[in-house]
Amino acid sequence: MYEDRIRHPGLLSKIMSADEAAKLFHNGMRVGMSGFTRAGDAKALPRALAERALQDPLSLTLITGASLGNGSDGLMAEAGVLARRMPFQVDPVLRGKINDGEVMFIDQHLSETAEQLRSGNLAAVDIAVIEATAITAAGAIIPTMSVGNSAAFAQQATQVIIEINLSTPLALEGLHDIYIPQTLPGREPIPLTRVDQRLGSTAIAIDPARIAAIVITDSPDSPSNALPPDAETQAIAGHVIAFLQGEVAAGRMGPELLPLQAGIGTIANAVLHGLIGSPFSNMTMYSEVLQDSAIELLDSGQLAFASASSITLSAAVHQKLMDNIDHYRSKIVLRPQEISNHPEIVRRLGIIALNTALEFDIYGNVNSTHVCGTHMMNGIGGSGDFARNGQVSMFVSKSAAKGGRISSVVPMVSHVDHTEHDVDVLVTEWGYADLRGLAPRERAPLIIERCTHPDYRAQLRAYYDAACQRGGHTPHILQEALSWHTRYQETQSMLAAQ
Amino acid sequence: MYEDRIRHPGLLSKIMSADEAAKLFHNGMRVGMSGFTRAGDAKALPRALAERALQDPLSLTLITGASLGNGSDGLMAEAGVLARRMPFQVDPVLRGKINDGEVMFIDQHLSETAEQLRSGNLAAVDIAVIEATAITAAGAIIPTMSVGNSAAFAQQATQVIIEINLSTPLALEGLHDIYIPQTLPGREPIPLTRVDQRLGSTAIAIDPARIAAIVITDSPDSPSNALPPDAETQAIAGHVIAFLQGEVAAGRMGPELLPLQAGIGTIANAVLHGLIGSPFSNMTMYSEVLQDSAIELLDSGQLAFASASSITLSAAVHQKLMDNIDHYRSKIVLRPQEISNHPEIVRRLGIIALNTALEFDIYGNVNSTHVCGTHMMNGIGGSGDFARNGQVSMFVSKSAAKGGRISSVVPMVSHVDHTEHDVDVLVTEWGYADLRGLAPRERAPLIIERCTHPDYRAQLRAYYDAACQRGGHTPHILQEALSWHTRYQETQSMLAAQ
């Protein structure tokens, strides 16, 4: 059995249980695992490592593509497996331990991890754990619903553990394009010039002798937890479309726009969903993740092709994709995240970057990661890769949170992930502020009037007016710049007492 | 006369005085001027525009490569010529007007201005003013000591004014490599893979019919105002060398290192100067500016080749370069700043980026631009282009300023230009902190103990320890995070009362 999944005959003997494979790990090892936006993550080993650690303590550095599903990060964190974790996570249990200082979390641009491993800026991984739909006759790994950093991990690790996931159709073969940039010095350009271009192979080639274990699983990916569009996200989508229509009208792009990137999550998904029925046609995506909206846009005929590093869908849309995989495989390619997010490619293609802000300030600085400046939410993800190098960098957010007690627009962000230099357009349900070519003192009134929740506009105007009295290119009152956050900590609301 | 400088015979009739040429400007025009780190700037038109504006008010948007010399920005600002200014400046008079809110200053990554002009994200320039050493028989412009954005301006402007500077030797021809990236969509890779590679032509080709005026000048560039090395900058250089020796010892680079970038100014110049006599050989530079130290390193034989967008030297070293230009022309190339700083190239070549911080915080965020969070110093320049995409991103600073009353290491920077995601190594005269692969709670003790002035270490430890009591991935006490800056504003010292 499994000959269709493990086509290299010498590897059948490597099949073992996850518990047996978990014995290959030793304290202090550096582990690279597949998984990106909870897609294509290893399902059995994280659980087996957590269970083993309860008996036989185990402390590892875990590097992934991005977030894992199935509560895996939480299980491993709870069992003390995770001494260090990078470059991204979304798990509530792990998040708690990061914020308690128990787990050392390194929050990285998603394009950079593989490059840093290869250059030695990060120490190499010892073991790779990669979910696969099959292993070819040559021993190459056919990934599942994400590529992430799997190719970099598999090529670098001394030992490779493969989880064959029987729930993934063999017809995924051909969906992936595995291309790894050359190493320094003297490397050539990455020859990608079109979103639908294929540069490499359909599987991750490695020496089969390094495959130390094969574990059989059949658990599906965790389904997307993006919420359906609501009135506010629909309004945000409307403003994004209005901005893009302006770009087309000004001749800065055609009706096919430029290749679109959209971050993970409810708002970005809703914005893309809002493009269905928009006046744009023959669009393309060059993104890190495809959510339901991307599949719906392909179905509407408005999206011609989608390139990403992972696919994260609701159960229903996932089923549709699987039932019609031969159709979709001609319209989708999954790449290593160092290619999907590569600064060289993002700049060359002229991406429209759409990412979600936790908060932004009156000068256009964006906080994507830290609640009240201290507590990590998920991580910067790929937002910086796209915002810095894209042709147009948009950040979207609802203008308020916690029933209006938090304003997403503040005098000074409590943590900066994207500086004013990298932010072109800010959008909330109230409108958009086009900051291109504007000085800080021009941005502030625009952001206050166009993007801020009406309950907070007078309060922001008062801050800005008082700050201007003190002068400066970027006026601030340092004693009050973070007072909205401390007021929230003290009174559970950013609203000033009347 | 001037036939050797103006080789297109039809253009000799375009010679006019700067005052006449200044009449070509109208209110509201957008002007692109040559000049980068006070090298290769137009000398006559800025003065003529300022003089004209005193009689006949004139308000312009001025875009340059980077900073102008000769007090030109100050003269124009004083005369009210500068309504808007981008992407960089260093002039004290202009700085005052920016901080007073009189001049709208847009602080940009130096790689991005030309790209944004071409894409339409910034409105096109109407007039270009370019300093040249000569005009070829075909009407192409041979630049002087910088390329900057001159090619982009000259190709886009409706009218081009050329300042022929007779003090520049004709032998500068061949020093420059003019290559402009293709426009969207469908552009190809930029084929540069070696620092000494030439991609384009030695002059800026334009339709001679757009040359509206030629002005003859003979004023030299303003000499470099970098200060000579002192004990502190020598100590910084020593720590940089120690770090790089560690990289060589670890096998992450060879004794030729990776291509070096160094920002403008005293500290970066001193650090490069410190490499003379270091154990590194056959080094290369891929930078935006070459200062005295680069020429000295070429002379020492340790630097094999230097690529940049401008050359800014002291009078003595400038004279040596001019006296031996045929020799140096084989070891130096000047490129458009969108190529010298291009993210695609910076990432591909694996640059070691060395830039100066105004201040940095205990988590590795860097402020390059704003004094006490509000007042613009010069601008971000190319530091972000190199820090984000380079292989190793180093920031250097003296640990204290104003006789010890300002600590360059603070709890939270008052403005963020480079986020923790983009900063690998911090260096002061006390030592270096290698932040690669470290979480915020690991970075803070290292930065405090290795980089902070001893007078401020206990104070920083106390802040960090108290912040950790409150928890968080990046511990802070928001009420106190900016208190060092407000204390300085109130007491003229960041030192806490004993």
- Backbone φ/ψ region at A186: left (φ over 0), alpha (ψ -120 to 50), beta: left
Measured distance CA(B230)–CA(A299) in Å, rounded:
67
Measured distance CA(B126)–CA(B27) in Å, rounded:
11
**Which residues of chain A are within 8 Å of residue B364 when distances are taken between CB atoms?**
none
Three-state SS string over chain B comes to: CCCCCECCHHHHHHECCHHHHHCCCCCCCEEEECCECCECCCCHHHHHHHHHHHHCCCCEEEECCCCCCCCHHHHHHHCCCEEEEECCCCCHHHHHHHHCCCCEECCCCCCHHHHHHHHCCCCCCCEEEEEEEEECCCCCEEECCECECHHHHHHHCCEEEEEEECCCCHHHCCCECECCCCCCCCCCCCCCCCCCCCCCECCECCCHHHEEEEEEECCCCCCCCCCCCCHHHHHHHHHHHHHHHHHHHCCCCCCCCCCEEECCCHHHHHHHHHCCCCCCCCEEEECCEECHHHHHHHHHCCEEEEEECEECCCHHHHHHHHHCHHHHCCCEEECEHHHHCCHHHHHHHCCEEEEECCEEECCCCEECCEECCCEECCCCCCHHHHHHHCCEEEEECCCEEHHHCEECEECCCCCCCECHHHCCEEEECCEEEECCCCCHHHHHHHHHHHHCCHHHHHHHHHHHHHHHHCCCCCCCCCCCCCHHHHHHHHHCCCCCCC
Structural domain spans, chain A: 9-217, 231-491
Segment holding A135, helix H or strand E: strand A127-135
- Please tell me whether B382 is known to bind a ligand: yes
**Nearest-5° angle of CA A287, CA A316, CA A324?**
70
The one-letter amino acid code at A66 reads A
First vs last Cα of chain A: how many Å apart?
73
Read off the pLDDT band of B181 (50, 70, 90). Answer: very high
Closest CA to A428 of A351, A353, A352, A357: A357
Over residues A269-318, the pLDDT tens digits come to 999 999 999 999 999 999 999 999 999 999 999 999 999 999 999 999 99
Mean pLDDT calculated for residue range B219-225: 93
- How far, in whole angstroms, is CA B218 from its chain's centroid? 25
Instruction: Answer positive or negative: Cα dihedral of B336, B338, B341, B347.
Output: negative
From A108, which residue of chain B is nearest by alpha-carbon distance?
B421
For position A167, what pLDDT does the model report? 96
Closest CA to A318 of A292, A285, A287: A292
**Which residues of chain B are within 8 Å of residue A424 when distances are taken between CB atoms?**
121
Residue A158 tokens read as 């001394």
| Catalytic choice (B247, B288, B296, B359) | B288
Mean pLDDT of chain A: 97
Over residues B230-275, the pLDDT tens digits come to 999 999 999 999 999 999 999 999 999 999 999 998 999 999 999 9
Mean pLDDT calculated for residue range A151-175: 98
Q: What is the DSSP letter of A228?
A: P
Annotated catalytic residues of A are: 288
Are the CB atoms for B405 and B453 separated by under 8 Å?
no
Measured distance CA(B415)–CA(B411) in Å, rounded:
12
Provide the edge-to-edge strand list for the sheet that holds A352-356: A332-334, A303-308, A283-286, A260-262, A352-356, A392-396, A425-428, A431-434
Mean pLDDT of chain B: 97
Q: What is the DSSP letter of A230?
A: -
The rounded percent of chain A whose pLDDT value lies above 70 is: 100
Measured distance CA(B266)–CA(A428) in Å, rounded:
44
Over residues B263-319, the pLDDT tens digits come to 998 999 999 999 999 999 999 999 999 999 999 999 999 999 999 999 999 999 999
Instruction: Answer positive or negative: Cα dihedral of A343, A344, A345, A346.
Output: positive
Provide the edge-to-edge strand list for the sheet that holds B352-356: B332-334, B303-308, B283-286, B260-262, B352-356, B392-396, B425-428, B431-434
For position A37, what pLDDT does the model report? 95
Measured distance CA(B220)–CA(B37) in Å, rounded:
14
Q: What is the DSSP letter of A148?
A: B
The rounded percent of chain B whose pLDDT value lies above 90 is: 97
From A117, which residue of chain B is nearest by alpha-carbon distance?
B437
Which of B374, B383, B410 is the best substitution to test chain A (most A C-beta atoms within 10 A)?
A: B374
Mean pLDDT calculated for residue range B391-413: 98
Residue B270 tokens read as 């001193």
On whether the B9-217 domain is CATH 3.40.50.10490, my answer is: no
From A96, which residue of chain B is nearest by alpha-carbon distance?
B472
- A 10 A CB-CB count for B362 gives 29
d(CA A251, nearest CA chain B) in Å: 9
Confirm or reject contact between A370 and chain B (CB < 8 A).
Answer: yes
Helical pair B292-300 and B266-274, crossing angle rounded to 10 deg? 10
Confirm or reject contact between B487 and chain A (CB < 8 A).
Answer: no
- A 10 A CB-CB count for A351 gives 26
Query: What are the backbone angles phi and psi of residue B62, rounded to the nearest 5°?
Result: -115, 125
Measured distance CA(B400)–CA(A463) in Å, rounded:
31
Looking at the DSSP assignment, which residues form a beta bridge with residue B376? B370
Measured distance CA(A87)–CA(B165) in Å, rounded:
53
Which of A366, A378, A478, A482 is the best substitution to test chain B (most B C-beta atoms within 10 A)?
A: A478
Read off the pLDDT band of B497 (50, 70, 90). Answer: confident
| Pairing relationship of beta strands B392-396 and B352-356 according to DSSP bridges | parallel
Over residues B409-425, the pLDDT tens digits come to 999 999 999 999 999 99
Q: In which residue are the tokens 């031996």 written?
A: B324
**Which residues of chain B are within 8 Å of residue A250 when distances are taken between CB atoms?**
120
Residue B468 above 90 pLDDT? yes
For position B160, what pLDDT does the model report? 98
Query: Number of CB pairs < 8 Å for A and B?
Result: 228
Confirm or reject contact between A119 and chain B (CB < 8 A).
Answer: yes
Half-sphere exposure of B464 (CA within 13 A, CB side): 24
What ipTM describes this predicted complex? 0.97
Query: What are the backbone angles phi and psi of residue B297, rounded to the nearest 5°?
Result: -70, -35
Q: Which residues of A are annotated as a binding site for CoA?
A: 378, 382, 402
- Hey, are the CB atoms on A415 and B474 less than 8 Å from each other? yes
Measured distance CA(B215)–CA(A394) in Å, rounded:
43
d(CA A293, nearest CA chain B) in Å: 24
| Pairing relationship of beta strands A352-356 and A260-262 according to DSSP bridges | parallel
Mean pLDDT calculated for residue range A239-250: 98
The one-letter amino acid code at A276 reads I
- Hey, are the CB atoms on A374 and B471 less than 8 Å from each other? yes
- A 10 A CB-CB count for B123 gives 12
Residue B122 above 90 pLDDT? yes
d(CA A136, nearest CA chain B) in Å: 32
Q: Is B201 exposed, middle or buried (0-12, 13-18, 19+ CB in 10 A)?
A: middle
Contacts of B78 (CB under 8 A, 6+ apart): B50, B93
Measured distance CA(B177)–CA(B204) in Å, rounded:
9
Residue A332 tokens read as 């989708």
Mean pLDDT calculated for residue range B341-356: 98
Read off the pLDDT band of A225 (50, 70, 90). Answer: confident
- Please tell me whether B378 is known to bind a ligand: yes
d(CA A20, nearest CA chain B) in Å: 30
d(CA A220, nearest CA chain B) in Å: 31
Residue A498 above 80 pLDDT? no
Q: What does the buried/exposed string (b/e) look like for A127-163 if buried means 16 or more CB atoms within 10 Å of the residue's CB?
A: bbbbbbbbbbeebbbbbbbbbbbbbbbbbbbebbbbb
Q: What is the DSSP letter of A98?
A: H
- A residues 77-116 closer than 8 Å to B (CB): 84, 86, 98-101, 104-109, 116
Read off the pLDDT band of B13 (50, 70, 90). Answer: very high
For position A154, what pLDDT does the model report? 98
The one-letter amino acid code at B23 reads K
Q: Is B251 exposed, middle or buried (0-12, 13-18, 19+ CB in 10 A)?
A: exposed
**Which residues of chain A are within 8 Å of residue B123 when distances are taken between CB atoms?**
437
- A 10 A CB-CB count for A121 gives 18
Of B121, B442, B472, the CB nearest to A104: B442
**Are A9-217 and A231-491 the same fold in CATH?**
yes
On whether the A231-491 domain is CATH 3.40.830.10, my answer is: no
- Hey, are the CB atoms on A471 and B101 less than 8 Å from each other? yes
Residue B225 above 90 pLDDT? no
- Hey, are the CB atoms on A121 and B389 less than 8 Å from each other? no
Of B188, B252, B370, the CB nearest to A119: B252
The rounded percent of chain A whose pLDDT value lies above 90 is: 97
For position B226, what pLDDT does the model report? 87
Mean pLDDT calculated for residue range B81-89: 98
The one-letter amino acid code at B427 reads V
Measured distance CA(A373)–CA(A376) in Å, rounded:
8
Measured distance CA(A81)–CA(A76) in Å, rounded:
5
Which of A347, A362, A464, A485 is the best substitution to test chain B (most B C-beta atoms within 10 A)?
A: A347
First vs last Cα of chain B: how many Å apart?
73
Are the CB atoms for B453 and B400 separated by under 8 Å?
yes
Confirm or reject contact between A427 and chain B (CB < 8 A).
Answer: no
- Please tell me whether B97 is known to bind a ligand: no
Q: Which residues of A are annotated as a binding site?
A: 378, 382, 402
Confirm or reject contact between B388 and chain A (CB < 8 A).
Answer: yes
| Pairing relationship of beta strands A370-371 and A375-376 according to DSSP bridges | antiparallel
For position B498, what pLDDT does the model report? 66
